[in-house]
Structure 1
Amino acid sequence: MKLNLDDLHLFVLTVQHGGISAAAKQHSLQRSKVSRRLQELEKALGCQLLIRTTRQIELTENGRLLYQQVNQQLTEVVQAAKLLSNQQKSLQGVLRVAVPAALITSNMFAQLLESYLEQFPDVLLEVLHCQESIDLKRENVDIQILPNGVEVQNEDYVQQTLLRFPSTLVASDEYLQSHPQINQLSDLAKHTLMVSRYNQASLPDNLTLRLCSDDLRLIQHMATTAKGVALLPTILIKDALKSGELSQVLVNEPLPEIKLTLIYPSKQFLPEKTRALITLLRDSFTESKIN
């Protein structure tokens, strides 16, 4: 026996509205369609549920028994479906975002979140510190941002490349004045180097790394306090360069870029609060907007 839940729902509506025509009119359906689906339901159950007359319908004993059993449950199912649908469309509730430490410490990312919270005051943002790819659905996370080099756990997830962030070699003037000059990349062999794990592989193998961290602010602090030469995203150190806290090294040397990837489970069932943040991320970090 194959039962169609839509047919059961039509049966309940027909009883509640006192007739096929009334139920069809109330829910913008064709009367013939409602009548046909009720016949299919009776066929599937193998018994008559309604006695049809010219002006109204009457329940058979089997029909009365079925109505008593399914009325409340189906009503609750429909209400639950409406609740879920409204929740998907609303701009409220919890939005969980997983980002690496490098992005958490970025002023640009902080300003983006401030803008989102100002626009959507009914959304609670939960920002998680996460360095590796996670299963978003199992972990109940809406969006993840990952740097290049980190393999995405689920290839079925939507992946959007954000802007590439060029890197710059920097050091404090105090450090540069007390150490050998740096005129070419090979000269870095005589210096203390500090990098993130996202760009360390891009440097020559013969260089010695003294500090490797996911915390870009830590690397910047160490460079500012004359502890060595740091390789950092240019966007992170613009203010430090402008103030003179740090100076560029090997300005004309092509250096690696950090690429960020935006990841979310599906376009088809995207809640509006998630879509809004994705739009803001794309507007801020890419040259294209969400479709």
Structure 2
Amino acid sequence: MRSTDDFLIFFHLIEQGSFSKAADLVGLTKSVVSKRITRLEQELGVQLIYRTTRKLTLTEAGEVFFSHAREVYYSVQNAEQAMSGLGESLTGTIRISVPTISGELILPKAIAEFSAKYPDIHIDMDLDNRFVDIVAEGFDLAIRTGALPDSSFIARRLVDAHWVICGAPDYFARCGIPKAPSELIQHNCLAYSYQETGAQEWLFKGADKPCTVKVNGNFTTNNASALRRAALFGQGLVYVPKVLVAEDLKAGTLIEVLQEQVAKCLGIYAIYPYTRHQPIKVKLFIEHLYLCYQKHLEKF
């Protein structure tokens, strides 16, 4: 059976594109790595790479061998990290990137409950509506809402968030209550710019499939709390996650309209890197978030 070292050395060589860099990673000299690759090719009876002064290029056989070398590398990494995780103490920091609406609603209570249970784990939460580069910026996970692009990340669905259209009683007293989505063009519709479908495109159920209505208004923001306050002040109508205004609807300070016709429902996900083995503390945190989101939103 061939030594695992052959696969690992070849993997690092191709990944780094340099004998010297690969040698540094595996703790050997450049000449030894070169000799190991030459011996590997001789034993296999095939040429694995074309060597030039500027770059290394895989042959067809090299492509096949590299695919197996990559599998060996990740298997070794996962095994080592899984074993180290078994003895991991529940300490350290979890860095999480969160859109403002999540950071202002469910998460503070969820984090407080998690911290009470695991007081030695520090939660570092960054509120930002931009799509951060999780790996490059050093985050353990991020909370994302809506349709997710194909990527190398794992997505754990936390909950589905239903959206509502609502406004303050004094707004409806001045402007009337819309009875159909088409009537929204006559209303001041305040826009939440942090959404994929467009701030002025509101989604509704159609006869055969969902449809959108183009709306207009005199206020746009990417901050959900500011949008809620504008609605409470009677400035106009808003189309927002129900959890944001649930207490207002219950108190009657905001009134929901077009309930049976609103179609928007977006998944909320915890996203984390696929190639990195999850520390136990991150697994526990994600599972805690899932339970908190389910418990909080099931009443909506």
Question: Per-residue displacement from partner, 1:137-195 (whole Å, max 9, x unpaired)?
Answer: 2211101111114646xx11211222111111111101100113311111111111123
Q: Tell me what 2:233 maps to.
A: 225
2:171 aligned residue (171, 175, 196): 175
Q: Structure 1 residue 93 and structure 2 residue 92: aligned?
A: yes
> Match for residue 283 of structure 1?
291
TM-score by length of 1: 0.64
Whole-angstrom CA distance in 2 between matches of 1:283 and 1:267: 25
Match of 1:164 in 2: 160
> Given the superposition, is the C-alpha separation of residues 175 and 260 from structure 1 closer, same or farther in structure 2, using an over 3 Å criterion?
same
Q: Name stretches of at least 5 consecutive residues in structure 1 with no aligned partner.
A: 5-80
Aligned-residue offset at 1:210:
3.1
1:104-152 Cα deviation digits (max 9, x unpaired): 121x222111111111111111101232333322211101111114646
Question: 1:87 and 1:97 mapped to 2: Cα distance?
Answer: 23
Residues in 2 aligned to 1:124 and 1:164: alpha-carbon distance in whole angstroms: 28
Structure 1 range deviating more: 251-260 or 272-281? 251-260
Q: Secondary structure at the match of 1:182?
A: coil
- How far apart in 2 are the matches of 1:140 and 1:268? 12
Name the CA distance, whole Å, in 1 between partners of 2:255 and 2:107: 24
Q: Is the 8 A contact 1:88 1:271 kept in 2?
A: no
Distance 2:244 2:275 in 1: 31
Match of residue 135 from structure 1: 133
What is the aligned partner in structure 1 of residue 25 from structure 2? Answer: none
In the alignment, which residue of structure 2 is the partner of 1:146? Answer: 144
> Using a 3 Å threshold, how does the CA distance of structure 1 residues 280 and 126 change in structure 2: closer, same or farther?
same
Any conservation in 2 of the 1:105–1:216 contact (CA below 8 Å)?
no
**Residue 190 in 1 paired to residue 190 in 2?**
no
The offset of 1:88, in angstroms, is 7.2
User: 1 CA distance for matches of 2:85 and 2:237?
Assistant: 53
- Of structures 1 and 2, the larger Rg is shown by 1
| AA aligned opposite 1:187 | E
SS of 1:240's equivalent in the other structure is helix
CA RMSD of aligned residues (A): 2.9
For 1:183, give the aligned amino acid.
K
Which range moved further: 181-190 or 217-226? 181-190
Q: Is the 8 A contact 2:202 2:215 kept in 1?
A: no
Aligned AA (1:165): A
- Provide the secondary structure at the position in 2 that maps to 1:174: helix
Secondary structure in structure 1 of the residue aligned to 2:163? strand
**CA distance in 1 between partners of 2:102 and 2:114 (Å):** 16
**TM-score for both structures, normalised by structure 2:** 0.62
Equivalent in the alignment of 1:39: none
Checking the alignment, whether the CA contact within 8 Å between 1:132 and 1:146 is kept in structure 2 is no
Amino acid at match of 1:139: E
Q: What is the CA-CA distance between 1:286 and the residue it aligns to? A: 5.2
Partner residue of 2:104?
105
- Aligned residue identity for 2:143: I
Displacement of 1:87: 9.7
Q: CA deviation at 1:228?
A: 0.2
**Contact 1:165/1:233, CA 8 A, preserved across alignment:** yes
Following the alignment from structure 1 to structure 2, what is the Cα–Cα distance between the partners of residues 231 and 208? 12
Q: 1:122 is matched by which residue type in structure 2?
A: D
- Give the 3-state SS of the residue equivalent to 1:259 in structure 2: strand
Letter in 1 for 2:250: K
**Contact 1:196/1:231 (8 A) holds in 2:** yes
Partner deviation per Cα, 1:204-252 (whole Å, 9 max, x = no partner): 3432143332211111100000000011111221111111111111222
Q: Provide closer, same or farther for how the CA distance between residues 208 and 88 of structure 1 changes in structure 2, counting only shifts above 3 A.
A: farther
The question of whether the paired residues in 2 share the 8 Å contact of 1:131 and 1:146 is answered with no
Name the CA distance, whole Å, in 2 between partners of 1:285 and 1:175: 32
Contact residue 195 and residue 232 of structure 1 kept, 8 A: no
Counterpart of 2:222? Answer: 214
Hey, what does 1:8 align to over in structure 2? none
Gaps of 5+ in 2: 6-79, 204-211, 296-300
* Percent of matched pairs sharing the same residue: 18
Aligned length: 207
